[in-house]
Structure 1
Amino acid sequence: MSNPLWVLTVLVVNILISEWLENHTFLKHMGTTLLVIILTAVVANLGIIPSATESSVVYEGIFTFIAPLSVFFLLLDVRLVDLKKAGLPMLSMFLLGAVGTSLGALMAIWVVNGPSVFGEHYKALAGMMTGTYIGGSLNFNAIALHYGVMKEGGLYAGTVAVDNILTATWMVATLLLPRMLGKIWKRVGNRASTRDIEGKLPEAREMVSIWSLAVLLALGGGSLLFADWLAVALNEAYGWNFPSILIVTTIALGLAQFKGIRELQGSRLLGLFTVYLFLAVIGAFCELAALKGIGELAIYIGLFTLIIVAVHGLVIFGVGGLLRQDWDVVAIASQANVGGPSSAMALAKSLNREDLLLPSIVIGSLGTGLGTYIGFLVAEVLL
């Protein structure tokens, strides 16, 4: 079943099923993001669509074009002046979590002896995991694309599988920790009135005109073309192996500050849908056989990733507790780091914190842009 049309149809149907499950069943607390990954992982492991080792031109196209476009479209929702809406506590906890992730990556490389275990890819893996646990899986793929780790089938598939497992586990943890820790250290945060944010949350459905859709697609495609051209030009002129995804990120963040761009409808829908397609492929790459195939290396990848998440958790929840922060705020900030904006928003809904929905989106979007930069910083500078 490797026909590209069949593969694409199954991926889209999985998104449809996941969206329905999120809206109409008890699985709503898991969120569409996690459901898409799990459902596609099951389908791929059953052999209905190709897995990581078999690959597909559809997967390659999504990684090459759709993944960067999803970054572009989602970042068009980031308003730098709106960061104040997240509030100082939420923003500070998010940045603290980013620091915890970076420290965790450096510690993990040292504990598992990264250069010896992972060889030449140890820097890339550290950058990928730093990026993904600061702003979600988009950063993971952006860095993996640059270093060509996806061409290392077993290593990439094993890392993705472990990453997905830990991401899902951390979602459960951030659901439980506020309740558990609230019994030890009383929460001091105040719930804002939902009336204060009424009408300000992004609409789940947008009326998209042909004009807006055409402009957004033209901007996205043009930005990708320009980013690729500039990256090549910089490499030829100065010998800089500059990641084109960083150029796309910078362009999107710049465009997002203009009123005309803000008035375009559909960027969030395009962003979410392309993200779901990307996550579906990540699910397809969550191949259980891949863990068996790489043998002992799977244990090291698991330990490596577990250390990063553990250090992140200890830093953000430990310092958050010492500063007597609202546990819900800490948990959502942590989920914005580890899972990205969609996961953070889903967690805010699950914790019944309507007042934190908008801040979760804002800091989650910030992480989508920031994670790639810090991931490359860890890989190229700190290591």
Structure 2
Amino acid sequence: MTQVDPLFLSLIGIAGIVALAWCLSHRWVWGQRLGVTMLVLLLGVAVRNGLGWQPDARVSGWVSGPLTSLAIAELLLAIRLKSLLQRARPLLLLFGLAVLATVVGVLVGAVALAQPLGDQRSELMGLYAATFSGGSLNLVSVGRILSPPDALLALATAADQIVFTLWFALSVGFGRSDRLKRSVGRPPSLALSPSASPAQPAGWVWPAALLWGLVALGLSDLFSKGLAGIGFAAPSILVLTTVAVVLAQGPGAESRRACSEFGQFLIQPFFAVVGLGTPLAGVLTEGVWILLYAAIVVGMHGVLVLVLARWRVPLADMLVASQAAIGGPSTALALATAIHRNDLAVAGVALGLLGYGLGTYLGVAMAAWADGSFL
């Protein structure tokens, strides 16, 4: 009997999880609410804990390495800072306060759980400062820079998804309740940027998006080697982030309008690998303090957001800004739609994309600060 190549089986398994998640997110009501990323992670966890299957380490390494780097580049190539700042201006101050609330939560949790977290504290501070300032892409980026153990990254990602889901559900409830109290009418929809539009891009922009991503990877590799040659070894993912954002400000925006969708698709195998590496028993045993830390961070964030909303700040505006920080552009858009505030959708997406560019630097800075034993 012919034995199936483990590399081929691993590729098919990961692709199957991603394909099933995409299908469920489009055809199942709860799938639409959970979103593709959460479904991919949950399916991966189910396969790992139900069937005991894990992909070949070589395939996991390729997914977490080159493929994820390309996905990060594609997502960042969608950021036009001038346009984003214009679109995000109505909620920009609130987004800044939401990120500040995240930083407060990170610091409070780090102090409260200093002993049980131990040597993992600085890495978790960096990971959670990043992911709760612009979404899971930042956790991936900072994870690549800090290189925590695979088990720690898997547990941190699982805890991130659990507390994010709870806060999103609460935000929808708060937002809908506030709308009923104020009898807010449904404002007219605003046109989103091309990358967030439901219309499918023309066929030629998909190869163009791939080409842009490869160019960003190539240039970042050259810059990394050049910096290393002069004795300044900057983390490669930080160089990639900077190069991609700079390229996104240049000409050729039309040829980059599929980069966001392409990047969202390419990042999903990473979450499948994370799910496949997450034993549930671990989350409830050695991961219980990590889960508690994530809960403290988002809990403090939520409390400060709700307190700010009492100071004559519209609750819906504050909640969308919060989701742009905690979950990123897609969840900010989903929340604005769920609470019937389509007028906040564009600003929410813009702030989430802005968080993609800023959260990585914030996470790295927080981890470096913690390593300096200032706490």
Alignment map for 1:145-184 (pairs within 5 Å): 145-149=144-148, 152-181=149-178
Shift of 1:274: 0.8
C-alpha spacing 1:291/1:321, structure 2 compared with 1 (3 Å) = same
The aligned residue for residue 19 of structure 2 is 16
The aligned residue for residue 375 of structure 1 is 363
Of 216, 231, 234, the match for 2:227: 234
Shift of 1:42: 1.3
User: 2:68 matched to 1:67?
Assistant: yes
Q: Is residue 71–residue 271 contact of structure 1 (8 Å, CA) maintained in 2? A: yes
CA distance in 2 between partners of 1:88 and 1:189 (Å): 22
Q: Is residue 291–residue 298 contact of structure 1 (8 Å, CA) maintained in 2? A: yes
Alignment map for 1:323-342 (pairs within 5 Å): 323-325=312-314, 327-342=315-330
Aligned-partner residue type, residue 47 of structure 1: L
Of 37, 42, 58, the match for 1:38: 42
What TM-score, normalized to structure 1?
Answer: 0.85
Q: Is residue 98–residue 134 contact of structure 1 (8 Å, CA) maintained in 2? A: yes
C-alpha spacing 1:171/1:3, structure 2 compared with 1 (3 Å) = farther
Q: Is residue 2–residue 49 contact of structure 1 (8 Å, CA) maintained in 2? A: no
**For 2:287, what is the secondary structure of its paired residue?**
helix
The aligned residue for residue 223 of structure 1 is 216
Shift of 1:308: 0.8
**For 2:133, what is the secondary structure of its paired residue?**
helix
CA distance in 2 between partners of 1:154 and 1:199 (Å): 38
Shift of 1:162: 1.6
Shift of 1:82: 1.7
Q: Is residue 161–residue 288 contact of structure 1 (8 Å, CA) maintained in 2? A: no
Q: Which runs of 5+ in 1 are unaligned?
A: none
Aligned-partner residue type, residue 344 of structure 2: L
User: How many residue pairs end up in the alignment?
Assistant: 366
Aligned-partner residue type, residue 177 of structure 1: F
C-alpha spacing 1:163/1:99, structure 2 compared with 1 (3 Å) = same
Shift of 1:110: 0.8
C-alpha spacing 1:380/1:190, structure 2 compared with 1 (3 Å) = farther
The aligned residue for residue 193 of structure 1 is 188
Shift of 1:198: 7.5
CA distance in 2 between partners of 1:2 and 1:101 (Å): 45
Q: Is residue 256–residue 262 contact of structure 1 (8 Å, CA) maintained in 2? A: no
Q: Deviations over 1:260-282 (max 9, x none)?
A: 13334531221111122222223
Alignment map for 1:259-338 (pairs within 5 Å): 259-291=251-283, 295=285, 297-325=286-314, 327-338=315-326
Q: How much is the aligned-residue C-alpha RMSD, in angstroms?
A: 2.7
CA distance in 2 between partners of 1:143 and 1:198 (Å): 28
Shift of 1:31: 2.2
Aligned-partner residue type, residue 175 of structure 2: P
**For 1:258, what is the secondary structure of its paired residue?**
coil
**For 2:304, what is the secondary structure of its paired residue?**
helix
CA distance in 2 between partners of 1:355 and 1:192 (Å): 6
Q: Is residue 205–residue 269 contact of structure 1 (8 Å, CA) maintained in 2? A: no
The aligned residue for residue 198 of structure 2 is 203
Q: Percent identity?
A: 27
Shift of 1:87: 4.3
Q: Which runs of 4+ in 1 moved over 6 A?
A: none
CA distance in 1 between partners of 2:23 and 2:52 (Å): 21
Of 335, 345, 355, the match for 2:343: 355
CA distance in 2 between partners of 1:273 and 1:5 (Å): 20
The aligned residue for residue 83 of structure 2 is 82
**For 1:263, what is the secondary structure of its paired residue?**
helix
Shift of 1:15: 2.6
Q: Is residue 75–residue 260 contact of structure 2 (8 Å, CA) maintained in 1? A: yes
C-alpha spacing 1:36/1:205, structure 2 compared with 1 (3 Å) = farther
CA distance in 2 between partners of 1:323 and 1:193 (Å): 24
CA distance in 2 between partners of 1:2 and 1:165 (Å): 34
Aligned-partner residue type, residue 10 of structure 1: G
Shift of 1:190: 7.7
CA distance in 2 between partners of 1:2 and 1:373 (Å): 40
Q: Deviations over 1:105-124 (max 9, x none)?
A: 111111111xx434443212
Q: Is residue 216–residue 267 contact of structure 1 (8 Å, CA) maintained in 2? A: yes
Of 347, 354, 365, the match for 1:366: 354
Using the TM superposition, name which of 219-228 and 159-168 deviates more. 219-228
Q: Deviations over 1:8-39 (max 9, x none)?
A: 22322333222222222222222223222222
**For 1:50, what is the secondary structure of its paired residue?**
coil
C-alpha spacing 1:30/1:157, structure 2 compared with 1 (3 Å) = closer
Q: Which runs of 5+ in 2 are unaligned?
A: none
**For 1:162, what is the secondary structure of its paired residue?**
helix
Shift of 1:64: 0.8
